[in-house]
Amino acid sequence: MFHEVTLLNLMSFLRLHPDTLEEIKERTNIYDTISEYVVLKRRGKNYVGLCPFHDEKTPSFTVNADKQLYYCFGCGAGGNAIKFLMEIRKEPFNQVVLELAKQHKISIKDLEEENTEILQARISLQNQLYEILATSANYYEHLLYEPIGKQALDYLINKRQLKSETISKFNLGYSPEGWETLYSYLVKCKNYPVSLLEQTGIIKPRNKGRGHYDTFRGRIMIPIKDIEGRIIAFGGRSLNNQEPKYLNSPETSLFSKSNILFALDQAYKNIRNLDHAIVVEGYFDVISLHEAGIKNTVASLGTAFSKTQLRKLLRYTDSKQIIFNFDADNAGTKAIQRMITEIDSLVYSGQVQLKILNLPSGKDADEFLKFNQNSAEKYYKLINSAPLWLGWQIEQILLDKDLKRADHFEKVVKEMMILLSKLSDYNKREYYIRHCSEILSQGDTRLIPIYLKNFQLQLAKPIANNFNSKKSKQFTKANILLEDQLLKEAEINLLKVYLRYSEYRRRISKSLEFKNLFFNTKEHRIVWTKILEIEDSHQNKNKTDKDQLSYRLQETIWESSLVETCVDQILSFSELEQHEDNERLDLIIKASLIFLEKASLKKYCYYCKIKYQMIDKNEDLVNFEYYLNEYITSKQKILKLQLSQSLSELDANDN
């Protein structure tokens, strides 16, 4: 029956028993669920992060672990863990529930007994795969201590200098050289179906002829486990110069290299206690560090460190501090650069506190621990003094560069500019701009302001010329308040002219419509809407004179006392009565429209900036370039409007 009914077809007529649904809800932790997709930081009793359902720069997405609910104050999305998974994965209720049941090993009960049996059969398939892999690991481990495994055991004890407890803790084993050793054991001795063995990735079909062969032969076997400690794959290290030196299981329904971190099942509690995680390059780096007592360590599996892997780690650290400890050689440096590129949207936005540790003499963690006395203590000291990722990036830019040479100097400045331009956090960017300026000054403090000014002109976010950040922030706030006040006055003037002078109404309404402009102040939008409603009730708008339009406007405003006050301001014509000449009114209309257009462009500019900063240009270059170009074009339009505004003000003063 299982083979005849697919899982998707089955879910279409699944009717879950209430007890099953209740158990799934109880066993599903909302923090663990959501932190797979959102970087969450503790804030009081709750957790906050950037909402995955709409674009935002300031976190408004909240998770309440006590109530097991989430809510976004920005877009209104909310619900429990099941609702979140339905929305984020775009999957139906039954599919999400079934996946959660499998994840938590919950028996599915359907209101119809036949469906329950089919579902249980589907879930039991996974359990069979887990069982085969566990049996294989036990077999490999057994062979390690047999005469056939002597070379492998000597390698672990003498060359890797591992204790027997460590070898046992990580369930290390040995796969013999024979082509069908494991295959014969599992099929002939354990009677496992060949089709299931294939699904685990431990055997492969022969290219020519019938039969299968073992995936791993003549290797130290390292079981790879999920967070619950179940074996899902293997890593194999060759003993006799066989290539590749390290070999992982192929991708299967249980195993995806980009989603799994080696030893996370043993490390996550220590990561939580120490509030930071260490990511190293290889299996034996992790194993040696754990043996030395540094147990908050994991490794990626030969691929670039992915966002999924990062989010898994961030679930266990409130400080969101991750340390990359890779080899200091060219290969290790390139690997770190690839990792930063892979997770750059989280790194540049400051959601991750990433540090880079390069051990002295180019050693990896395993070598460092073997050749140093009190190595664990020394390792911790190096961890504490490791530079943040941006400081490390700047160090890489300066490698083999002579700043006294013009070509080197120019290259360093260009690379610094590219690096700094990606930072979205204002304070962090300001700090590193000054840091780079100090480096470029080469000890001559008189040059620092010059380099600061150069960075200021070329980067999207300028910094203050003086170094008093408090005054700078106050100045910025004062500018924003002034801009807001001038915009409100411009909107009031535009409404005043519209009400007082019927001959200008068509020009104002056409300008607003043509440029797709709107009033930014809520009260002004309400007034404008009412004006349009009043005019729509007349066949000829221009025949609606000032007094009639004003009277009807006062009569229809009922929303709030705030709007009534606003209407009183608009209807006070005294300021305009003394400037009734056409030239002056033209300038008032022009200046007011410029304010509205600037406000609209600034909002669009901000939107485009957020969009291109969130896009990985390596994955979506077309949209990245589109939003970046839109951002630059909008900036240029704003500058032109400011120039036009200045000229209008000069004309007004001359009059």
**Structural domains in the chain?**
7-111 (3.90.580.10), 120-255 (3.90.980.10), 259-386 (3.40.1360.10), 396-458 (no CATH), 474-652 (no CATH)
Res. 247: pLDDT tops 80: yes
pLDDT digits (tens, 9 = 90+) for 44-100: 888 999 998 888 878 889 999 888 999 988 888 888 999 999 888 777 787 788 888
CA distance 326 to 323: 10
Q: How far is CA 119 from CA 82, 401, 582, in A?
A: 19, 64, 80
CA distance 461 to 72: 28
Which whole number is the average pLDDT over 596-609? Answer: 83
Residue 400, by phi and psi: left (phi above 0), alpha (psi -120 to 50) or beta?
left
Could you give phi then psi for residue 338, rounded to 5 degrees?
Answer: -65, -40
Res 570: pLDDT: 65
Res. 547: pLDDT tops 80: no
- The residues that bridge with 388 in the sheet, in sequence order, are 355
How many other C-beta atoms are found inside a 10 Å radius of the C-beta of residue 248?
Answer: 23
CA distance 519 to 530: 13
Structure tokens at 235: 């890593």
Res 429: pLDDT: 85
**Beta-strand pair 219-225/173-175:** antiparallel
**Distance from the Cα of residue 536 to its chain's centroid:** 49
Res 9: pLDDT: 40
CA distance 602 to 587: 22
Asked whether 203 and 185 are in contact (CB, 8 A), the reply is: no
Res. 500: pLDDT tops 70: yes
CA distance 126 to 594: 65
Res. 112: pLDDT tops 60: no
Res. 599: pLDDT tops 70: yes
- The residues that bridge with 619 in the sheet, in sequence order, are none
- Of 244, 278, 247, nearest to 263 (Cα)? 278
Res. 604: pLDDT tops 70: yes
Res 373: pLDDT: 79
- The residues that bridge with 174 in the sheet, in sequence order, are 220
Res. 564: pLDDT tops 60: no
* % pLDDT > 70, the chain: 82
Res. 166: pLDDT tops 80: yes
Res. 119: pLDDT tops 80: no
Res. 235: pLDDT tops 90: yes
Could you give phi then psi for residue 322, rounded to 5 degrees?
Answer: -125, 135
Res. 546: pLDDT tops 60: no
| Residues ≥6 apart with Cβ < 8 Å to 176 | 143, 148, 149, 217, 218
- Please write down the HEC assignment for all residues of 257-314: HHHCCECHHHHHHHHHHHCEEEEECCHHHHHHHHHCCCCCEEECCCCCCCHHHHHHHH
Res. 576: pLDDT tops 60: no
- Of 219, 223, 220, 245, nearest to 234 (Cα)? 223
What is the pTM for the complete model shown?
0.61
pLDDT digits (tens, 9 = 90+) for 395-426: 999 999 999 888 899 899 999 998 888 887 77
CA distance 564 to 316: 54
pLDDT band for position 109 (50/70/90)? Answer: low
Q: What is the mean pLDDT of the chain?
A: 81
CA distance 354 to 387: 9
- Of 216, 262, 222, nearest to 242 (Cα)? 216
Res 392: pLDDT: 93
